[in-house]
Structure 1
Amino acid sequence: MTTLDDLLNPRSIAIVGASDDPTRIGGRPLSHMIRQRFAGPVYPVNPKRDRVQGLQAYPSLAEIPDGIDFALIAVPAPLVAEQVRLAAARGAKTALIFSSGFAEAGAEGARLQDEVAAAGRAGGIRVLGPNCLGLFNAEAGFYPTFSSTIDRATPVPGGISIASQSGAYGSHIYMASHARGLGIRYWVTTGNEVDVSTPEVIRLLAEHDDVHTIMAYAESVKDGPALVEALETARANRKPVVMMKVGRSAVGAAAASSHTASLAGEDAVYDAVIRQHGAWRARSTEEMLDLAYAARPRIYPAGRRLGLVTISGGAGVLMADVAEAEGLDVAPMPEQSQAEMRAILPFAAPRNPVDVTAQLFNDLSLIPRFTRTMLDRGGYDGIIGFWTSVAGSPILGRPLLAHLTETMADYPDRLFLHVMLAPEEIRAAYEAAGFPCFEDPSRAVIAMGLLMRFAEAFAAGRPEAPPLPAPADLGAGPLGEREAKRLLAAAGLPMVPDRLATTPEEAAAAARALGGPVAIKLASPDIAHKTEIGGVALGIEAPAAAAAAHERIVAAARLARPEARVAGTLVSPMVSGGVECLLGARNDPVFGPVVAFGLGGIFAEVLRDVSLRRAPFGPAVAREMIAGLKGAALLAGARGQPPADLAALAATISRFSAFAAANAHQIESVEMNPLRALPEGCLALDALIIRREDPA
């Protein structure tokens, strides 16, 4: 198995296609490593020159006298596979391919890419790329990349690393990080991902002790389970992964697929999976960098209670507004503590935000005294201080830092972010003391909120998955509503009872036996959406009305779909009360079975108020799905209605997820819709199962 050292810390390197010109693609990596004093031997391979950039060159990999660990390949696409085979023969563990002209270029390029993949597998060598900008290990001076950013911004090793499918955007993230003063230790771009993928790089980084935060960029993911394992590895090791996954829009998704020649899963599924497994999907590059910067102290607040201390009432209100929008708890200080703070400073506003006013200029000791009170009495998990340009004052800035450093030494588990406008040397002093600094108070609040979310994810750990039932026996016949209900009921899922009527007389008898109002629906494996053809009758009271409804529904089906198989109608009791929900699952092409839960009617169809999770999962995750709906209050008993049985609902969703996972190999999608969440239990009124091979 490839390790991070195999990929990023080889002892010896060969560069196939090495150029004597340090500005060319084949010359830049050699130039970088000469300047950065890479410790191991570097063997340029160039059949036209005896020396390349002052180093002895070799006409081919076969003529290098010693073995190699790493081969960098920068030759035309048709020649690459042979170089991979030669590298493997010389003992290389990894090959990095700059060359383009592969799957991103069409059918012939795809064939060449397949040839490269086969060469790598046959030789037992891992391949990074092709169509790849390269990587670096700043600590080791290892720079197999032709990125020009290294010329303008020499990396400074730190605890942050970058995994990016895109080379150019990966360079952008690196340059922006460098400008923010973020030390980047490892930077890896994966290109077309013929072998080594972005998820695998994330996992390798997550397993390494000298990485504390991972920034990732992906256009598509070919192996969903590999991404899940990578994110869970990072979660287990308490390492935030902040991920930029592009392709949200239909146009963006098409562009990403064209660029990488790989399939993209539905965007909402990516969003749900990234969060489900403890990572964060960045909404902007700025947010990605803010999170990585704020995470440098490696303090993840244990809750969402946020204290705000400020010298500006207006700034306090602004931050409180942003905090509420981010789901943070800006709880007020206890009344007794507020009184104590007023005794110290009568004109202070000590509620939270705590406004120490301009009195700060006269008495800097107010800050440590108020801070201790907020942490001891208010119980805040994190604090943000707004000092504007005061912290940058040559008179006040460093004494304020001294007070804060002494105070926070007693609270190593609490994070204190600062909002200030200050010269670089003062900002650097605050950062060296473990205090991240922001100019924008809104960004500081958002970064704090993200760290609080990571703390929750780390504490929760990997969700426990329920045991899977045995796969269902779908049989050989068609799967209509009745068959779907039977299969789901056998898996322990709550289904409304029904009776099959093949004649009007049987429909009348079924209505009579069930008593009270009944629902009558078309029974046909070929017509999934019965309402659209007049295949549903609700609230039927009398047996005679049931017989008439049966005749009407069967006639409508034969008129609308003469070729459809019609077994008759299903008669079942009407179920009233509760909240109408939908519960479904489908096989995502990247992540496999994904469960969707939401409220019925316009909530799902118009408002898109649906929670998604990758199956299978337990009741705790199902509870999160329920709570995450905008309309969750309806299930809690809004407007005087009785609350739904949330425990039963969560258990049903979890059991449904296990059914979907156990049958993913044979079921394309499955639905229980509508599902009634009742005051006691829940009940599905309809069901649909589509086989994987079924063209429907």
Structure 2
Amino acid sequence: MGFTYEQYQKLISPASVVLAGVTSRLGQDSNNPLEMLLSSGYKGKIYAVNPHADEILGVKVHRSVLELPEIPDLAVICAPRDVVPAIFEDCARRGIKLVIIVAQGFTDGDAAGRELQKQISRLSRRESIRVLGPNTLGIVNNFASFSTSFMKFINRTGPVGILCQSGIFMTASEIFSGGIGIGIDTGNTSDLDFANMLPHLAADPRIGVINLHLEGMGDGRKFMAAAAAASRKKPVLALKTGRSKAGARAAGSHTGSLAGEDAVFDAALKQSGVIRVIDVEELSDYNRVFRTLPLMRGPRVGVVTITGGGGIIAVDACARYGLTIAEYSPQTMQVLKKFFPDWMEPGNPVDIWPASMLHGYGSIYRLVLETVLKDPGVDGVICITSAWTEDNFLDVSDIIAEAAGSASKPVTLWALGSRWQEYAAKLEKQDTLVVFPSANRAARSLAALYRQNLIQQREIPHQNYKLKNSTNLQVNPTYQPSLLNYGETMNLLKQYGIPVAGWSKAATGEQAVRAAEELGYPVALKIDGKGIAHKSDIGGVALNISTAEELLSAWKQMMSTVRAALPEAQIDGVIIQKHLSGGTEVLLGAKRDPQFGPVVLCGAGGIFTEIMSDTTMRIPPLTRNEILEMLQEIKLYQLLEGARGKPAADMEQLIGTITAFCRLIMEEPRIAEIDINPLLAGPHKIAALDARIYVY
């Protein structure tokens, strides 16, 4: 269900609001949202409902929502859980269309709470009421001096928009945001979710950066579409908790939502252009640079330093985050040489210490930095200076800030020493550079600026692709998938245009020989039977067979070995397959995720699948570039390009095969899981050599 701009405005900036079930207690431990709302400076009409009070803090109190003189834009139900349904019904009868439910104990609680949630959801759908929560602080809109929070916290206004699933992410936002404009806590996300809010935050010119705190997810694909559109307009940063198994369990008990498999979330965020952070420190760093600095147009970094050792640390940090050290132009080198002694050849990093002995520390830092910033081959700069002296000796931070302010490229400063926070407090007010206590954080933040530049230029994903059967997103975990036999598997692959190696089925050794002669030696021999999945583990695979004698011997040995290993197995015969070589073995896999639906995995195939654990993941449909990026992420890509004497794979044919594979998993909702392993990627041919498909 959509969420219009008019509805959004009434939620975050209502002309009138009713606090239904508001407490009459006051003071530090009262958690009274009326007290907070009045202190926020809100200018709209405020109504209060409490059956046991006549007036609270000068506000007239009504016995029931039904007694209100007008229909307010928004109702905030701040009563205990067990009376929420009755108040919600009164809101529906009064015609209120937007409701925030503060109380906990619904899907995040016991069975009774989950039933109450279902009751409220049924009524909200019937009456077209949009609900935020339960289990939420609601809204903080500093632009409109409006807050539904029952908790007082340090609340500065800034250009950061927050969407969260825990109130602590808003109440503690000052430590990582520097000030928020609009904060929305979706709580248990029973109705209104991130996908409803993202388009409006992305369209708001007062919001420069969007922060997400995710514990779980309902409709993952709906979120991805909204996030992809938002991230093309402004940075979207996400702190996804529940990465560990213990964290996932805690997230489920907190919001009642599924934390989901972390690797799938990681793929979804990456594809949506959302920059994932690992902790609050990284989130704070990125908020600071996105609020302050221009995006970085390329990966090339110049380093200006007072210490050669520090410059090397910065170079390593840049490499860690995919940045490169810029090669200065001949013109830049010619200018730099004038500043240094004849015995020194300046490079990148530029260690200014020898030049400072000739020209003075402050003067030379300015000259070198301005020269480096003018170089067209430099996209961003890391400056290194001291912050360890007790007086202002060696403090060139103001000079660096001034030079950075006249450039159109991002500059980060690594201030070595305990006074770095003092430098940050002073310099970042000028909105020209950002100060860090380590080269790692300085480089990581530049990399985020470069990544956001790439995100805003990327192609638009296939958002209009329609699944043939949308019910495949709701997988019943009690289903027991069954394994297709070899013939059914290979025929389904061929149906979707996925090339397979030539094969034939045989029930006897003599039939196997005739099949091999028709296919042409060498061949591979594989056991075939219902439920036999890991053939090689039980002696069910023989490769590179060159003669009929070898084939008969392998067939007899295989039948004996497999029957001994699986005496109850239903053996249907053997598969004779053309033996192919001369390529790189790739793994293609897919499964269904409860939040995101079909998920595709690519990695090293054959014997290297378990050894290398070299895989990456995406959520289809995928563009050509997304498939290429996926392949480039795995170590195997070097072999696909032709490293170490291996023939290079036909990359276009491989990308086409993966495209067909994505279409297969999306259009066949009966498939629970599929592996093609290996898929042989050669210079002239791509072919599936083996595959398993489990169906519901």
| Structure-1-length-normalised TM-score | 0.90
Q: CA offset at residue 635 of structure 1?
A: 2.1
| Preserved contact between residue 103 and residue 113 of structure 1 (Cα < 8 Å) | yes
Output aligned runs, 1:447-596, within 5 Å.
Answer: 447-464=445-462, 479-554=484-559, 556-558=561-563, 560-561=565-566, 564-596=569-601
Q: CA offset at residue 561 of structure 1?
A: 4.5
Residues 395, 644 of structure 1: alpha-carbon distance in 2 compared, 3 angstrom cutoff: closer
1:689 match: secondary structure: strand
Residues 82, 298 of structure 1: alpha-carbon distance in 2 compared, 3 angstrom cutoff: farther
**1:123-162 deviation line (CA, Å, top 9, x unaligned):** 211111112233200111111012332xxx1x22221111
CA distance in 2 between counterparts of 1:184 and 1:662 reads 43
CA distance in 2 between counterparts of 1:304 and 1:52 reads 59
| Preserved contact between residue 318 and residue 443 of structure 2 (Cα < 8 Å) | yes
For the aligned residues, what is the CA RMSD?
2.8
1:566 match: secondary structure: strand
Q: CA offset at residue 407 of structure 1?
A: 3.3
1:519 match: secondary structure: strand
CA distance in 2 between counterparts of 1:359 and 1:431 reads 30
Output aligned runs, 1:38-437, within 5 Å.
Answer: 38-149=42-153, 153=154, 155-172=155-172, 174-177=173-176, 182-237=178-233, 239-297=234-292, 299-335=294-330, 337-346=332-341, 350-357=346-353, 362=360, 364-377=362-375, 379-389=377-387, 393=392, 400=399, 403-404=402-403, 407-408=406-407, 411=408, 414-420=409-415, 421=419, 427-437=425-435
| Preserved contact between residue 341 and residue 354 of structure 2 (Cα < 8 Å) | no
The residue aligned with 1:630 is: 635
Deviates most, 347-356 or 298-307: 347-356
**1:311-366 deviation line (CA, Å, top 9, x unaligned):** 22222211111111111011332355324312123377631112222755826443
**1:193-250 deviation line (CA, Å, top 9, x unaligned):** 111223433343223222121111111111101220221121232x111111112222
Q: CA offset at residue 515 of structure 1?
A: 2.3
| Preserved contact between residue 438 and residue 444 of structure 1 (Cα < 8 Å) | yes
Residues 74, 464 of structure 1: alpha-carbon distance in 2 compared, 3 angstrom cutoff: closer
Residues 164, 18 of structure 1: alpha-carbon distance in 2 compared, 3 angstrom cutoff: same
1:158 match: secondary structure: strand
Q: CA offset at residue 184 of structure 1?
A: 0.6
2:163 match: secondary structure: strand
Q: CA offset at residue 40 of structure 1?
A: 0.2
1:295 match: secondary structure: helix
The counterpart of 2:670, out of the listed 653, 666, 674, is 666
The counterpart of 1:677, out of the listed 674, 677, 681, is 681
Alignment gaps of 5+ in structure 1: 472-476
| Preserved contact between residue 290 and residue 449 of structure 2 (Cα < 8 Å) | yes
Residues 131, 399 of structure 1: alpha-carbon distance in 2 compared, 3 angstrom cutoff: closer
**1:579-626 deviation line (CA, Å, top 9, x unaligned):** 111111111111111111101256432432101010111221111111
Residue type of the partner of 2:369? T
| Preserved contact between residue 469 and residue 659 of structure 1 (Cα < 8 Å) | no
CA distance in 2 between counterparts of 1:448 and 1:233 reads 23
Residues 465, 228 of structure 1: alpha-carbon distance in 2 compared, 3 angstrom cutoff: closer
| Preserved contact between residue 588 and residue 601 of structure 2 (Cα < 8 Å) | yes
**1:641-688 deviation line (CA, Å, top 9, x unaligned):** 32222222222222211221122x221122211111212232110122
The counterpart of 1:441, out of the listed 439, 442, 446, is 439
CA distance in 2 between counterparts of 1:254 and 1:398 reads 47
Residues 631, 640 of structure 1: alpha-carbon distance in 2 compared, 3 angstrom cutoff: same
Residues 600, 443 of structure 1: alpha-carbon distance in 2 compared, 3 angstrom cutoff: same
| Preserved contact between residue 465 and residue 618 of structure 1 (Cα < 8 Å) | no
The residue aligned with 1:474 is: none
**1:23-46 deviation line (CA, Å, top 9, x unaligned):** 478753211221121010111111
Residues 423, 327 of structure 1: alpha-carbon distance in 2 compared, 3 angstrom cutoff: closer
The counterpart of 1:657, out of the listed 644, 653, 662, is 662
Residue type of the partner of 1:297? T
Residues 176, 131 of structure 1: alpha-carbon distance in 2 compared, 3 angstrom cutoff: same
Aligned residues: 674
| Preserved contact between residue 293 and residue 432 of structure 2 (Cα < 8 Å) | no
Residues 216, 521 of structure 1: alpha-carbon distance in 2 compared, 3 angstrom cutoff: same
1:68 match: secondary structure: coil
| Preserved contact between residue 14 and residue 72 of structure 1 (Cα < 8 Å) | yes
| Preserved contact between residue 519 and residue 572 of structure 1 (Cα < 8 Å) | yes
Residue type of the partner of 2:241? V
Residue type of the partner of 2:653? A
| Preserved contact between residue 310 and residue 356 of structure 1 (Cα < 8 Å) | yes
CA distance in 1 between counterparts of 2:170 and 2:370 reads 42
CA distance in 1 between counterparts of 2:246 and 2:394 reads 54
Residue type of the partner of 2:192? V
Residues 563, 134 of structure 1: alpha-carbon distance in 2 compared, 3 angstrom cutoff: same
Residues 610, 425 of structure 1: alpha-carbon distance in 2 compared, 3 angstrom cutoff: closer
Q: CA offset at residue 397 of structure 1?
A: 5.3
Deviates most, 306-315 or 266-275: 306-315
1:495 match: secondary structure: coil
CA distance in 2 between counterparts of 1:606 and 1:249 reads 23
CA distance in 2 between counterparts of 1:61 and 1:24 reads 27
CA distance in 1 between counterparts of 2:393 and 2:65 reads 60
Residues 208, 176 of structure 1: alpha-carbon distance in 2 compared, 3 angstrom cutoff: same
| Preserved contact between residue 340 and residue 346 of structure 2 (Cα < 8 Å) | no
The residue aligned with 2:624 is: 619
1:148 match: secondary structure: coil
| Structure-2-length-normalised TM-score | 0.90
Residue type of the partner of 1:240? P
**1:146-198 deviation line (CA, Å, top 9, x unaligned):** 2332xxx1x222211111112234433x13136xxx12111122221111223
CA distance in 2 between counterparts of 1:89 and 1:353 reads 70
Residues 19, 92 of structure 1: alpha-carbon distance in 2 compared, 3 angstrom cutoff: same
CA distance in 2 between counterparts of 1:43 and 1:27 reads 18
CA distance in 2 between counterparts of 1:111 and 1:399 reads 61
CA distance in 2 between counterparts of 1:561 and 1:228 reads 45
CA distance in 2 between counterparts of 1:468 and 1:22 reads 54
Residue type of the partner of 1:334? S
Q: CA offset at residue 551 of structure 1?
A: 4.4
